[in-house]
Amino acid sequence: MNGVLDPDVLRCARCALRLSAATLPRDLPAGVCLCVDCLLHPPAFAQAVAAFDYEPPFDSLIQRYKGEHRYVMAGALAHLLYCAWMAEDGDAPAVQALVPIPASRASLRRRGFNPASELAAALGAQARLPVLRTALSRRREDGRRQASLGRRQRESAVQGLYACRRSLSGLHVGLVDDVMTTGSTVDAAARALLQAGAVRVTVLVAARTPAAPSRD
C-alpha cells in the first residue's frame, strides 16, 4: 500500500502542495516543481511528505482523531503516513529521529492529548526511529487558535514560537504534525531544529491542506 495520494498529481517538491498547470510558476528549470511560495520564500525544511490531502473523504479521519479525542487512531494515521513516506523516495532511512510539534496548553486541556505527539510515537514504532517528544517547546502561549488565522497572521503568530533546548548536532530530523495548512508552523519549528544543530529537516504530516481560492 502506497498511501492514498495520487502519484500522478503534480505537487510542490518542497511543501507537498497540490499544484495545477495553471498555478505552477513559469520559467522553472527543467525537473524543478515548486509552488510560488517555496520559490519566492524557501522554507527551512527540505521536504514535506503527506499521507493524504485534507479534504473529503480523508479529512474526516483527522476530525475524528482530533475532535472526538480518538487518539487510538494515531496508529492508523501513522500507517498511512509511513506508506506514503516509503513510496515518496529513499529519504526515509536517512531520517534519524522524529520530533513532534508541541501543542499549546489550551489545546492539551481541550483534547487531553497532543495529536502530533501520538502520531510521532506511532510512526516511530513503525519506522523504528527514536521519538524526541520534548525536543521542541513553545516559548509562549497564544490565546488565538491557528485554525482561525489567515496565512500572514499565522506566519506572524508562529515567528520564534518554538525552541529546541537539546543538541541535534548532525541529525536529519523528521518533524511530525497531524495537519500542514500554510506550512508556517512547521517552518518555524524547523528553524528551531536547525538552530539546535540538525542538518536537515523532513516534514511528515498525515494531512496536507490544498490551496483554497479564499486563502490569503
Q: Could you tell me the smallest distance in angstroms from the CB atom of residue 39 to Zn ion?
A: 8
Which residue, 187, 121, 190, 132, is CA-closest to 154?
187
> Which of 17/120 has CB closer to Zn ion?
17
> Which of 17/122 has CB closer to Zn ion?
17
Q: Cα–chain-centroid distance for residue 191? A: 13
Q: Could you tell me the smallest distance in angstroms from the CB atom of residue 112 to Zn ion?
A: 33
Tell which positions 86-145 bind Zn ion, by CB under 5 A.
none
> Which of 14/191 has CB closer to Zn ion?
14
> Which of 35/206 has CB closer to Zn ion?
35
User: What count of other Cβ atoms lies within 10 Å of the Cβ of residue 16?
Assistant: 22
Q: Could you tell me the smallest distance in angstroms from the CB atom of residue 13 to Zn ion?
A: 8
Tell which positions 7-46 bind Zn ion, by CB under 5 A.
12, 14-15, 17, 35, 38
Which residue, 6, 104, 111, is CA-closest to 50?
6
Alpha helices in the chain (DSSP H): 36-40, 59-62, 74-88, 105-111, 115-127, 151-158, 184-195
Report the alpha-carbon distance of residue 213 to residue 117 in Å, rounded: 31
- Maximal C-alpha separation, the chain: 49
Size of the site for Zn ion (CB under 5 A): 6
> Which of 38/186 has CB closer to Zn ion?
38
Q: Could you tell me the smallest distance in angstroms from the CB atom of residue 62 to Zn ion?
A: 21
- If you search the block for the grid coordinates 493524504, which residue do you land on? 52
Which residue, 98, 12, 113, 89, is CA-closest to 53?
12
> Which of 35/204 has CB closer to Zn ion?
35
Helix (H) or strand (E) holding 67: none
Q: Could you tell me the smallest distance in angstroms from the CB atom of residue 92 to Zn ion?
A: 20
Report the alpha-carbon distance of residue 141 to residue 130 in Å, rounded: 27
Q: Could you tell me the smallest distance in angstroms from the CB atom of residue 173 to Zn ion?
A: 19
List residues near Zn ion by CB under 5 A.
Answer: 12, 14-15, 17, 35, 38
